[in-house]
A and B are shown apart, each in its own frame.
Chain A
Amino acid sequence: MKRRLTQLVLIIILALLVLLPWITPYFYIFIVTEILILGLFAASFNLIFGYTGMLSFGHAAFFGVGAYASALLLQSSEWPLLACLVVAVLTGAALALIIGYFSVRLNEVYFSMLTLAFGMMVYAVVHQWRSVTNGSDGIAGFQMTSLGLGLDLTLGNPSVYYHVVLAIVVAATALLYLVCRSSFGLILTAIRQNPERVAFCGLNVARYRLAAFTIAGAFAGLAGGLMAPFLRIASPELVHWSMSAEPVLMSILGGTGYFLGPFFGAGMFVLLETWITSWTQAWMLVLGIILALMVMFFRRGVLGTFLDWWLERK
């Protein structure tokens, strides 16, 4: 019964998302595009935080290199968008594999410190390596010529690009969901709950953590690869550690215990950001205060608390 209802709600939401360009003002197409991309970014973060129990403060590194990869390819070789996204995924995964190799070896305290440190290193490199990344100016002025697969779409049109983003994000989310529901995903959950026990079962915990981290890096790279064409620029802010704070807050806002929590959190986050930045510059301050209050008093998140209550009701 509850399962049926959940499916029904999801189908309605999906149908509304598909129809969105025809039923809402233009402004909301941009908002929802951003929510979808950031939601995917947050969901990839939650694979390592909510599922595997490792808190990464450097997730923007993979998002950022994905954005730079697609921006650079669009600018220099005018590849089809899908090909650029494949490269963005591979770059995010490769960087996550390298950073993860050093970060997953010890406990979660080390993991958080090292991901933040390496994330800042990536930012510093992006910021200073002017010959490739164009420094603080970022990569701008690129055109999306085609999507690939022989489809003829005008990607410059925001509502067309919205549908492309929606299709890719839904497909990626479904894939990520399958990963979480697979036996691999169950092992990750087991690692969060009791790493020693998993190790006693003869599984290599560090290797599973590294695999989860690499997969998360790949999805974050994909989200970044979609973000650069949306913003029409890949700038160092996308790699900065304050960008890493965003998926953390989105996951906490929505709830880390449920697969769709981060998407819900991303929606709240973007709407809050749009509303708050309209009357103050100190968005980061508000973000920090919300995060602190959520952690102190409302750790399960908004969607999480609601679903906990609803699922336990007889």
Chain B
Amino acid sequence: MGSIGMALLNSLDIGLLLFVIAVGLNIIFGVLNIINFAHGALYMLGAYLAYSCIGMWGMPFWLTLLIAPLAVAALAVAIDRLMLRFIYQRDISDSLLLTFALLLILNESVRLVWGTGIYVVDPPTLLQGTVHFPGGITYPIYSLFVVGVGLVFLVGLWFLFNRTRLGKIMRAAALDREMAQVLCINTRTVITGAFAFGAWLAAVGGVVAAPMRAIDPGMGDKIIIESFIVVVIGGLGSFPGALLGAIVLGLIYGLGGRFLPDVNLVLPFVGMAIVLLLKPHGLLGKGAAS
């Protein structure tokens, strides 16, 4: 019983972390109609910046959590202005090609700057140690913090998109860009902002993940696949879908790692394949087939 509880708790922190990252992917897709293949690379950049700030320059964790994602968001603004704006009006395959090129560029740049070694970041003193739950379950405090961050983002993003003017503007631009423009919404700023916001979310995920997962050059590849699986399971472009997909993938990891460790590697893909067979547009997706 305790082990199942443990597995479920382990699913929760991974799941909520994936939610934060996948929702960024969804926002970029919704507003720009671009699948950001470099999303995992931006996440990785966040984690490496966290390593540099905390491990090398001795910056406090909380300041890093503020600064590193902002730096990545600033980079995203530059990427949008220098690269993506050329292909706004083009065929969708061009945007896929361009973000794929960006993935190559960012991945190799990270490798050039930080090398191929594996880095570890310690959690802040406040969040070190474990807590004991009834039933003999011990749980790292840091994982509790990750769950907390995930919940804050869940509520915050829901509030942003449903209760604020800014969120409504973003949704309007996502629904019908030309109509939004007619209504005096500066869609160019919204597009750049949405890309930067999505990148910021990926980088926040990277900083939060830094003390939890090893920092290595393959971490971006891993997360982009995980977030693709999340949005395919949940439904591309769907906010609740990202949450559901992330929880499902977290459960696959948590329970699969506990009960089927030999095939743990392919379980997420099996889960994704099953969803594709039964509900091609994801559990909560609503797009029509084309």
Chain A contacts to B: CB under 8 angstroms: 49, 53, 55, 57, 102, 105-110, 112-114, 116-118, 120-121, 124-125, 128, 195-196, 241-242, 245, 248, 252, 282, 284-285, 287-289, 291-292, 295-297, 299
1/0 contact string of B29-67 vs chain A (CB within 8 Å): 100000101000000000000000000000000000000
30 contacts between A and B (CB under 8 A): A53-B93, A55-B96, A107-B290, A108-B93, A109-B35, A109-B96, A113-B35, A113-B232, A116-B225, A117-B269, A120-B225, A121-B225, A125-B265, A196-B290, A242-B104, A245-B104, A248-B97, A248-B100, A282-B112, A285-B104, A288-B101, A288-B102, A289-B105, A291-B100, A292-B83, A292-B105, A295-B98, A296-B86, A296-B98, A299-B94
Considering the chains assembled together, what is the distance between the CA atoms of A237 and B93 in angstroms? Answer: 25
Q: B290: nearest residue on chain A (CB-CB)?
A: A107
Is B162 located at the chain interface by the 8 A CB criterion? no
Please provide the chain B residues from 248 to 290 with a CB less than 8 Å away from any CB of chain A in the complex.
265-266, 269, 272-273, 276-277, 280-281, 289-290
Which residues of A have CB within 8 Å of B109? Answer: 285
Interface of B is mostly: helix
Contacting pair B37 A116 (CB below 8 A): yes
* Chain A residues near B101 (CB-CB < 8 A): 288-289, 291-292, 295
B87 interface contact, C-beta 8 A: yes
Given contacts A117-B225, A241-B221, A285-B105, contact A124 B98 (CB under 8 A): no
Residues of chain B at interface, number, CB under 8 A: 43
| Contacting residue for B37 out of A57, A292, A295, CB 8 A | A57
A288 nearest CB neighbor, chain B only: B104
Instruction: For the A-B complex with A109-B92, A117-B272 known, give 14 more contacts whose Cβ atoms are closer than 8 Å.
Output: A102-B277, A106-B280, A107-B290, A109-B236, A113-B228, A114-B228, A116-B37, A128-B265, A285-B108, A288-B102, A288-B104, A288-B105, A288-B108, A299-B90
**Chain B, 222-257, contact with A by CB distance < 8 Å: what is the 0/1 string?**
001100110110001000000000000000000000
Q: Which residues of B contact A287 (CB under 8 A)?
A: 104
Taking the nearest CB of chain A, how far is it from the CB of B116, in angstroms? Answer: 11
Question: In the complex, which residues of chain A have a beta carbon less than 8 angstroms from the beta carbon of B86?
Answer: 296-297
Cβ-defined contact, B266 with A121, below 8 A: yes
Identity of the chain A residue whose Cβ is nearest the Cβ of B109 in the assembled complex: A285
- Name the residue among A112, A125, A195 with the largest chain B CB count within 10 angstroms: A112
B236 contacts across to A, CB distance below 8 A = 109-110
What are the residues of chain B within 8 A of A291 when measuring CB–CB? Answer: 97, 100-101, 104
Residue B215 interfacial (CB < 8 Å): no
Task: Collect the chain B residues with CB atoms within 8 Å of residue A285's CB.
Answer: 104-105, 108-109, 112
The answer for the CA separation of A68 and B100 in the assembled complex, in Å, is 26
- Is A295 within 8 A of B94, CB to CB? yes
A106:B83 contact, CB within 8 angstroms: no
Q: Which residues of B contact A295 (CB under 8 A)?
A: 87, 94, 97-98, 101
Q: Which of B97, B112, B272, B289 is most buried by chain A, counting CB atoms within 10 A of its CB?
A: B97
**Are B103 and A114 touching (Cβ within 8 A)?**
no
* Residues A105 and B280 in contact, CB atoms below 8 Å apart: yes
In the docked arrangement, what's the CA distance between A116 and B229, Å? 11
CA distance A186 to B163 in the complex (A): 51
Cβ A112 vs Cβ B87 within 8 A: no
Within 8 Å of chain A (Cβ to Cβ): is B107?
Answer: yes
Residues of B within 8 A of A118 (CB): 269
Contacts of A289 in B (CB 8 A): 101, 105
A182 to B266, CA, bound (A): 38
**Known contacts A106-B289, A117-B225, A291-B100: does B232 contact A284 (CB below 8 Å)?**
no
Partner of B92, one of A108, A120, A128: A108
Query: How close is B269's CB to chain A, nearest CB, in angstroms?
Result: 5
| Residues of chain A with a CB closer than 8 A to B221's CB | 120, 241
**Residues of chain A contacted by B276 (CB below 8 angstroms):** 102, 105, 114
**Could you tell me the distance between the alpha carbons of A109 and B225 in the complex, rounded to whole angstroms?**
14
Note all chain A residues with C-beta closer than 8 A to B266.
121, 124-125
Are the C-beta atoms of A296 and B87 separated by less than 8 Å? Answer: yes
Q: Which residue of B lies closest to A103 (CB)?
A: B276
Report A-chain residues with C-beta under 8 Å of the C-beta of B281.
106
A117 cross-chain contacts in B, Cβ below 8 A: 225, 228-229, 232, 269, 272
CB-defined contacts of A105 to chain B, threshold 8 Å? 276, 280, 289
A244's closest neighbor in chain B, by CB? B100
